[in-house]
Amino acid sequence: MEYTGISNGLLIIFGGIAGALALEALVRRLFSPEVLQRGHDITGNMLSVVGTLYAVLLGLIVVDALVRFEAAIDVVQKESNSLADIFLLADRLPQPQQDRMKQSCRTYATLVVEQEWPLMKQGHVSLEARKTAFSLTRCLNDFEPKTEAEKAVFPLILEQIRVLWDYRRERTSTVLYGIPGVEWFVLIVGGFVTVVFAGLFNAENTNLHRLLTAMAALIIGLNLYLVSLFGYPFGGELSVSNRPFKIDLAIFDGRFEELPAHDRERIGK
pLDDT tens by residue, 35-80: 777 777 777 778 888 888 889 999 999 999 999 999 999 999 999 9
pLDDT tens by residue, 86-119: 999 988 888 888 888 899 999 999 999 999 999 9
Least confident segment among 136-140, 177-181, 199-203, 257-261: 257-261
Residue 239, H or E segment: strand 238-239
Distance CA 16, CA 236 (A): 19
Least confident segment among 123-127, 139-143, 169-173: 139-143
pLDDT value for 39: 72
pLDDT value for 107: 93
pLDDT tens by residue, 191-205: 888 888 877 777 777
Q: Work out how many domains the chain is built from and give that number.
A: 1
The pTM for the full model equals 0.79
Is the CB of residue 194 less than 8 Å from the CB of residue 21? Answer: no
More confident residue, 218 or 12: 218
By residue count, the chain amounts to 269
Is the CB of residue 212 less than 8 Å from the CB of residue 7? Answer: no
Among candidate residues 147, 171, 149, 167, the one with its CA nearest the CA of residue 84: 167
Distance CA 106, CA 234 (A): 22
pLDDT above 90 coverage of the chain, percent: 25
Provide the domain limits for residue 207: 2-266
User: Would you place residue 4 in the very low, low, confident or very high pLDDT band (cuts 50, 70, 90)?
Assistant: low
Angstrom distances, CA of residue 255 to CA of 79, 89, 107, 181, 250: 20, 18, 17, 44, 5
User: Would you place residue 269 in the very low, low, confident or very high pLDDT band (cuts 50, 70, 90)?
Assistant: very low
Q: Over the chain, what is the mean pLDDT? A: 84
